[in-house]
């Protein structure tokens, strides 16, 4: 243990790397406040949010946001597509032929929700497929054949469930 100027350090006994102890002296802090490190390495206090707010990122920094105005990342797909964690809503246009929207591996996206909607009036299907041995409500795939039909799915970390 070492105190140098205004900084406290610890050296782990199984190694030689000196670790700086992060301390934030803020008498104005309150119950529920969060502390994070900014791009300069400084600790910053984020006061507790209001009821109904959720912690979001804004410009790469944590912020409190209104959960009723959540932004859904929306993309229209006219061909086969594999969903990523950046997606929320996939609008499937199968006018040119059936398309397959593939869900990511459920174990890698526990708690994620995705919504797939068929937006064209053709008889071609928008198919929702699994990855690996995942299932979707026990099935290996689900088809949307009617215009304006939406299927929402959520991962429990092992499987996909239609919601």
Q: Is 106 helix (H, G, I), strand (E, B) or coil?
A: helix
- Are 60 and 95 in a shared domain? no
pTM: 0.62
Q: Which CATH number is 157's domain given?
A: 2.60.120.640
- pLDDT for residue 25: 67
- Are 42 and 12 in a shared domain? yes
Beta bridge partners of 143: 127
Question: How far is Cα 137 from Cα 46, in angstroms, rounded to an integer?
Answer: 40
Number of residues that make up the chain: 163
- pLDDT for residue 103: 98
- Are 54 and 83 in a shared domain? no
- Are 60 and 84 in a shared domain? no
- Are 45 and 121 in a shared domain? no
Strand order in the sheet with 126-129: 81-82, 99-102, 126-129, 141-144
- Are 11 and 64 in a shared domain? yes
- Are 50 and 128 in a shared domain? no
- pLDDT for residue 65: 77
- pLDDT for residue 24: 67
Q: What is the mean pLDDT of each run of 10 residues along the chain (163 residues)?
A: 80 78 71 83 82 77 72 92 94 98 95 96 98 97 98 96 97
Residues 6+ apart with CB under 8 A from 107: 155, 157, 158
Domain count for the chain, please give it. Answer: 2
- Are 81 and 118 in a shared domain? yes
- Are 29 and 96 in a shared domain? no
- The range of the structural domain enclosing residue 112 comes to 74-162
Q: Which spans in 21-154 are helix H?
A: none
């Amino acid at each position: 243990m070492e105190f140098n100027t205004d900084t406290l350090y610890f050296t782990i006994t199984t190694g030689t790397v000196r670790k700086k102890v992060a301390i934030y002296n803020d008498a104005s802090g309150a119950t529920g406040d969060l502390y994070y490190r900014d791009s300069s390495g400084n600790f910053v206090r984020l006061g507790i949010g209001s009821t109904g707010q959720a912690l979001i990122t804004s410009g790469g920094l944590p912020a409190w946001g209104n959960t009723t105005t959540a932004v859904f990342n929306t993309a229209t797909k006219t061909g086969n597509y594999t969903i990523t964690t950046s997606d929320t809503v996939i609008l499937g246009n199968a006018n040119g032929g059936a398309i397959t929207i593939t869900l990511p591996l459920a174990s890698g996206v526990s708690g994620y929700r995705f919504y797939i909607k068929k937006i064209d009036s053709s008889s071609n299907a928008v198919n929702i497929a699994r990855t690996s041995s995942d299932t979707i409500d026990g099935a290996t795939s689900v088809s949307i054949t009617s215009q304006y039909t939406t299927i929402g799915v959520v991962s429990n970390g092992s499987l996909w469930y239609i919601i």
